[in-house]
């Protein structure tokens, strides 16, 4: 009898405690919601920031004909079956992101970190690689067709790169593991190599930062491109038929047919260069697409975005002029004038962003700010987050919170003020980087110096419709782009 009584008391105690816990969570949620000002804060459901184990396709009803699905290279939408032990950790991703940023800053300051030449016969010693390293080339990929008959290949798209390339048989030196069958140019009727004496071959120097080589036996032009972490691709500079969609086919498209490639691409076959150099996809297809393209990066890796070429409906797009950034004409440079946090404009000197300039980049993950600007942003953000428990830093991200006890929370809104009177309001997914529910971080980092170039990264671009009009000299932003 006493045992039954004790058991009953225990159940009663548990139910009362559970009810109190629910009551506390309800009161806390109500307090957060009542203090939420939609003009200055985001009310965030934690579940909205977490990826689902299944892929959700875009709900966009009518896509333009030249539109490709954009997927994150790590996640359920990828279809690239990576081994779990090879999927990078958040620390890995952020570490590689820093290497990419260092490489971009080096390019912009014209620093020479290696011998800028590619020796003939695909000399593998010219561009050394770290075995198994992650390449700093971007996170999102699309599928295009190469060759006749066409072979569908997954390529990472990158606005900070110019040369498009893919791995090719016979992989004379080395090829990393990719999901799609490796492209075999010998089975295509439209493939041809560019010769060493062609004026096209000489364009590689400015596009890749390396002087082209020459295969003495075939007189074929050899490209070599190295990324920030010493990953690389070396191969034949070639022409081939590129199929964007069934109705959009580009003949004699210049690309790299890689015979010696190292670095992990999340199973993708290579890279689609969307920079501003004459050999970039944007310039090569200028007659057809008028140097216009747009994309929307999904809020999580379990959602799908899109990449569209040619004119898009822009009734709700706000355009800011492209500016010039010294050191490289490949990047898309913007005039960043200021930042708002929770409705407060940061008190910064007019020279804070103009000294190093600003670029927008689809391949950089975390936005980099001048240290002066980052410190001001972090301080203002922390003021609006004082009610939440702090968490340890995550790699380069030093402002993190533990939301394991919250289903809903509020964060200050952040807006970027660009030239032309354009204000870009970031989505909640563009403010936070989620390591885990116990480590949700402010998704910004400081550059090493105030003179370094500011980089508007892809986390901040999530769910925005970003329109690049290189011909018109402007970049546009619209909200809710992936819907």
Q: Where are the domains of the chain?
A: 65-84+121-308, 313-478
The structure tokens listed for 98 are 């820093």
Ramachandran sector of residue 356 (left: φ over 0; alpha: ψ -120 to 50; beta: rest): alpha
Nearest CA to 449 among 361, 382, 381, 355?
A: 355
The domains spanning 65-84+121-308 and 313-478 adopt the same CATH topology: yes
Would strands 390-391 and 400-401 be described as parallel, antiparallel, or unpaired?
antiparallel
What would be the CATH architecture of the domain defined by 65-84+121-308?
Answer: Beta Barrel (2.40)
Please give the helix or strand (H or E) that residue 466 lies within, else none. Answer: strand 465-469
Q: Which letter does DSSP use for residue 349 in this model?
A: -
What does the pLDDT read at residue 330?
84
Residue tagged active-site, from 97, 158, 229, 469: 158
The structure tokens listed for 295 are 């994309």
User: Has 61 been annotated as catalytic?
Assistant: no
What does the pLDDT read at residue 313?
78
Q: Which letter does DSSP use for residue 430 in this model?
A: G
DSSP string, 217-235: TTTEEEEEEE-TTS-EEEE
What does the pLDDT read at residue 128?
29
Burial of 116 (0-12, 13-18, 19+ CB in 10 A): middle
User: Has 158 been annotated as catalytic?
Assistant: yes
Task: State how far the Cα of 424 lies from the Cα of 416, in Å rounded to an integer.
Answer: 5
User: What is the greatest pairwise CA distance in the chain?
Assistant: 99
Task: State how far the Cα of 440 lies from the Cα of 405, in Å rounded to an integer.
Answer: 12
What does the pLDDT read at residue 4?
59
**pTM for this prediction:** 0.88
- Three-state secondary structure call for residue 424: strand
Q: Is the peptide bond before 170 cis (omega within 30 degrees of 0)?
A: yes
What does the pLDDT read at residue 66?
81
CA 168 to chain centre: 25
Residue tagged active-site, from 97, 162, 229, 361: 361
What does the pLDDT read at residue 348?
97
Q: Which CATH class is domain 313-478?
A: mainly beta
Would strands 248-262 and 165-167 be described as parallel, antiparallel, or unpaired?
parallel
Task: State how far the Cα of 133 lies from the Cα of 450, in Å rounded to an integer.
Answer: 29
- Pick out the chain residues at pLDDT < 70: 1-36, 58-65, 79-86, 110-138, 228-230, 264-266, 325-328
CA angle centred on 312, ends 307 and 317, rounded to 5°: 100
């Amino acid at each position: 009898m006493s045992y039954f009584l004790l058991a009953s008391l225990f159940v009663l105690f548990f139910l009362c405690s559970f009810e109190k816990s629910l009551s506390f969570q309800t009161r806390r949620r109500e307090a957060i919601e009542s203090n939420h000002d939609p003009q200055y804060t985001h009310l965030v459901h934690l579940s909205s920031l977490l990826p689902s184990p299944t892929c959700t396709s875009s709900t966009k009803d009518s896509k333009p004909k030249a539109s490709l699905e954009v997927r994150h290279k790590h996640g359920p939408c990828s279809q690239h079956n990576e081994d779990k032990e090879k999927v990078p950790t958040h620390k890995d991703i952020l570490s590689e992101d820093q290497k990419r940023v260092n490489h971009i800053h080096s390019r912009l300051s014209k620093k020479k970190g290696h011998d800028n030449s590619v020796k003939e016969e695909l000399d593998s010693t010219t561009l050394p690689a770290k075995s198994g390293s992650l390449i700093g080339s971007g996170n999102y990929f699309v599928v295009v067709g190469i060759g006749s008959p066409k072979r569908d290949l997954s390529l990472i798209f990158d606005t900070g790169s110019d040369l498009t390339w893919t791995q090719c048989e016979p992989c004379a030196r080395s090829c990393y593991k990719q999901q799609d069958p490796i492209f075999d140019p010998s089975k295509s009727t439209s493939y041809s190599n560019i010769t060493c004496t062609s004026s096209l071959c000489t364009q590689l120097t400015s596009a890749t930062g390396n002087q082209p080589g020459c295969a003495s036996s075939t007189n074929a032009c050899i490209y070599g491109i190295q990324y920030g972490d010493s990953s690389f691709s070396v191969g034949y500079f070639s022409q081939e038929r590129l199929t964007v969609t069934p109705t959009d086919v580009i003949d004699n498209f210049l690309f790299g047919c890689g015979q010696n490639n190292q670095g992990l691409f999340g199973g993708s076959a290579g890279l689609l260069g969307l920079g501003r150099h004459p050999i970039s996809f944007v310039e090569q297809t200028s007659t057809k697409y008028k140097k216009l393209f747009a994309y929307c990066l999904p809020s999580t890796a379990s959602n799908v975005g899109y990449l569209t070429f040619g004119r898009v409906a822009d009734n709700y797009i706000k355009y800011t002029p492209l500016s010039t950034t010294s050191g490289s004409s490949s990047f898309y440079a913007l005039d960043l004038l200021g930042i708002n946090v929770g409705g407060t404009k940061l008190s910064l000197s007019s020279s804070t962003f103009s000294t190093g300039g600003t670029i927008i980049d689809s391949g950089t993950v975390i936005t980099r700010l001048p240290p002066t600007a980052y410190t001001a942003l972090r301080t203002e953000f922390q003021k609006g987050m004082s009610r939440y428990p702090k968490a340890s830093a995550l790699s380069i991200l030093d402002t993190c919170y533990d939301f394991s006890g919250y289903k809903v929370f509020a964060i200050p809104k952040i807006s970027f003020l660009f030239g032309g009177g354009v204000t870009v309001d970031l989505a909640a997914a563009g403010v936070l980087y989620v390591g885990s529910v116990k480590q949700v971080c402010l998704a910004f980092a400081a550059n090493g110096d105030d003179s370094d170039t500011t980089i508007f990264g892809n986390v901040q671009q999530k769910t925005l419709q970003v329109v690049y009009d290189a011909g018109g000299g402007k970049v546009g932003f619209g909200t809710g782009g992936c819907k």
